[in-house]
């Protein structure tokens, strides 16, 4: 039987377009010119702490109104750490660590051997681990005494992360991810292919995740053994998060955000369109929010689809901060603080934000701390919020199927200023009509007869296509559907035409374990899913005639 490869089929059926978001973004409730230069740390009561371009540590309330400030010797970009006792640990480029009480009064300060770019990590006993550009990692007691120091021999810009057993992980400019014992002795060092700016995140099983300038994302075991690595298009300076579902999410300068499951398989790849230098956050409803360097804040659904975007037109290179009360904070170039209120709080997850929690502790939470987080976020997580307003009905959705392999396509769109209107009620979910009693072959014939094309894609009616493939449709919304493939629940992107949901042929060919071939005479596409073959009588060359601008040039290696 004449056939072509799945790659060729993908050329004909088209890659899933990124398009515009599904929903209109929430409005920015407040904007304040506060000259913020560091990351923003959020206390349990909603207070904000940050370093400004005026070389001061600032404390404000949840709306950005000043409470106190303290002068330090230089600017700094490390997040201040706020301890459970209310002490602020701040570090700056004057080589000094400062400890301030709840009123902003100096408790102690310690000068180290170099500028401090990395955010300190707080240990359960109140001591902190601090890394410097001078190439040394220090442990300081709660009273500011040096407990030990470790000479790395290369600058450290990666913020330390502390595991449940007290092991300390950090990357360095010697291309290595280091593991130290709680006493400051080297356990092991793993060599990546280039510099490690990325701050590590720690999963529920103790796995360590980080990125490198070698264009890869790494997963290591607690023993320092490579579990997997994933290729990206450009360097990965951002720090990963680990979601409530155990998925590792991190952006790259190639303009993509990658979601990879603990086994190293790509769940989805979201095209932000501009480089991503900041960490993402996971909210309690599973939404992932991440900014890019063009100044756009992206909200991404569980299946990797675009939910909404806020375009500021100003560079954003630090991640969002989220209060337990459900306020989102992000800083744009120039130090402007943007506040979005009445949103979801952080998810209760292994590592849902930079340095693990809003107070930037940088350690794996204990069971008691996780329980406390659940209680603290319960009200905001279960609040009745204004629903999102549907976006333009013709906007293509984000890819929701897990692509393999990852083939990022960097881009740099022109920044656009301004934000979008307030949220409005969401669209009512679309429920598919019951399928008629037809054989799978008849369903495939019906699906092919209703095939349509848009944006270089072939789309089939979801109801008939799923029935032809002997798959169960579990639910359908305005932009996504969930299919049962064997025992797995697999999200796919859909588009609505009237009230009927259509699924891209490329999404069906990318289902787990699927294989696709193209028959020439008579023309048809044969999909094999879950051990069953189904023949769709589709004439792809007729549906998608190749013109002067073919899609072959976009394929790697072509």
Question: How far, CA to CA in Å, does 233 sit from each of 221, 293, 294, 300, 410?
Answer: 24, 16, 18, 20, 7
Which pLDDT belongs to residue 11? Answer: 37
Which pLDDT belongs to residue 260? Answer: 97
Which pLDDT belongs to residue 494? Answer: 86
Task: Give the 3-state secondary structure percentages of the chain, helix then strand then coil, rounded to 5.
Answer: 10, 35, 55
Dihedral sign, Cα of residue 84, residue 86, residue 87, residue 88: positive
Which pLDDT belongs to residue 539? Answer: 84
State both tokens at 171: 């990357």
pLDDT digits (tens, 9 = 90+) for 380-406: 998 877 667 776 433 333 333 333 333
Give the whole-angstrom CA distance, residue 237 versus residue 198. 5
Contact 470, 488 (CB under 8 A): no
Which pLDDT belongs to residue 532? Answer: 86
pLDDT digits (tens, 9 = 90+) for 398-449: 333 333 333 333 333 333 333 333 333 333 333 333 334 578 888 888 898 8
Task: Flag residues of the chain having pLDDT under 50.
Answer: 1-19, 392-436, 547-558
pLDDT digits (tens, 9 = 90+) for 181-209: 999 999 999 999 999 999 999 999 999 99
The model's pTM is 0.69
Which pLDDT belongs to residue 85? Answer: 96
Question: How far, CA to CA in Å, does 121 sit from each of 26, 82, 221, 363?
Answer: 33, 10, 21, 7
Give the whole-angstrom CA distance, residue 497 versus residue 494. 10
């Amino acid at each position: 039987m004449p056939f072509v490869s799945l790659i060729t089929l993908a050329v004909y059926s088209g890659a899933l377009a990124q398009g515009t978001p599904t929903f209109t973004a929430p409005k920015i409730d407040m904007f304040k010119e506060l000259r913020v230069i560091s990351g923003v740390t959020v206390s349990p009561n909603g207070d904000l702490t940050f370093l400004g371009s005026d070389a001061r540590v600032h404390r404000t309330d949840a709306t950005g109104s000043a409470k106190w400030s303290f002068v330090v010797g230089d600017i700094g970009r490390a997040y201040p750490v706020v301890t459970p006792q209310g002490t602020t640990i701040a570090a700056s480029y004057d080589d000094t660590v400062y400890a301030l009480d709840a009123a902003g009064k100096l408790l102690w300060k310690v000068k180290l051997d170099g500028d401090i770019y990395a955010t300190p990590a707080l240990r359960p006993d109140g001591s902190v681990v601090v890394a410097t550009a001078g190439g040394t990692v220090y442990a300081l007691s709660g009273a500011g005494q040096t407990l030990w120091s470790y000479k790395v021999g290369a600058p450290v810009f990666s913020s330390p992360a502390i595991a449940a057993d007290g092991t300390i992980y950090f990357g360095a400019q010697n291309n290595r991810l280091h593991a130290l014992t709680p006493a400051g002795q080297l356990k092991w060092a793993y060599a990546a292919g280039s510099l490690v700016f990325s701050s590590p995140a720690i999963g529920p099983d103790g796995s360590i995740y980080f990125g490198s300038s070698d264009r890869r994302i790494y997963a290591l075991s607690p023993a320092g053994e490579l579990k997997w690595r994933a290729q990206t298009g450009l360097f990965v300076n951002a720090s990963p998060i680990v979601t409530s579902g155990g998925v590792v999410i991190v952006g790259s300068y190639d303009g993509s955000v990658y979601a990879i499951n603990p086994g190293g398989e790509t769940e989805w790849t979201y095209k932000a369109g501009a480089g991503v230098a900041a960490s993402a956050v996971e909210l309690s409803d599973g939404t992932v929010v991440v900014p890019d360097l063009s100044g756009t804040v992206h909200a991404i659904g569980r299946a990797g689809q675009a939910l909404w975007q806020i375009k500021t037109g100003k560079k954003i290179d630090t991640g969002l901060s989220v209060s337990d009360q459900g306020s989102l904070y992000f800083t744009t170039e120039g130090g402007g603080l943007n506040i979005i209120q009445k949103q979801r709080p952080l998810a209760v997850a292994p590592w849902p934000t930079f340095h693990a929690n809003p107070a930037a502790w940088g350690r794996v939470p204990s069971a008691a701390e996780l329980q406390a987080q659940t209680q603290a976020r319960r009200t905001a997580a279960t609040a009745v919020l204004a629903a999102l307003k549907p976006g333009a009905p013709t906007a293509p959705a984000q890819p929701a199927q897990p692509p393999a392999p990852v083939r990022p396509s960097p881009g740099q769109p022109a920044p656009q200023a301004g934000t979008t209107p307030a949220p409005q009620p969401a669209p009512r979910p679309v429920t598919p009509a019951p399928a008629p009693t037809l054989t799978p072959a008849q369903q495939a014939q019906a699906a092919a007869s209703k095939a349509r094309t848009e944006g270089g894609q072939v789309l089939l009616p979801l109801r008939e296509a799923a029935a032809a493939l002997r798959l169960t449709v579990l639910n359908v919304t305005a932009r996504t559907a969930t299919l049962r493939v064997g025992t797995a629940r697999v999200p796919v992107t859909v588009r609505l035409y009237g009230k009927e949901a259509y699924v891209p042929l490329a999404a069906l060919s990318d289902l787990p374990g699927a294989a696709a071939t193209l028959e020439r005479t008579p023309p048809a596409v044969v999909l094999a899913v879950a051990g069953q073959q189904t023949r769709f009588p589709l004439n792809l060359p007729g549906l998608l005639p190749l013109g002067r601008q073919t899609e072959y040039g976009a394929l790697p290696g072509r």
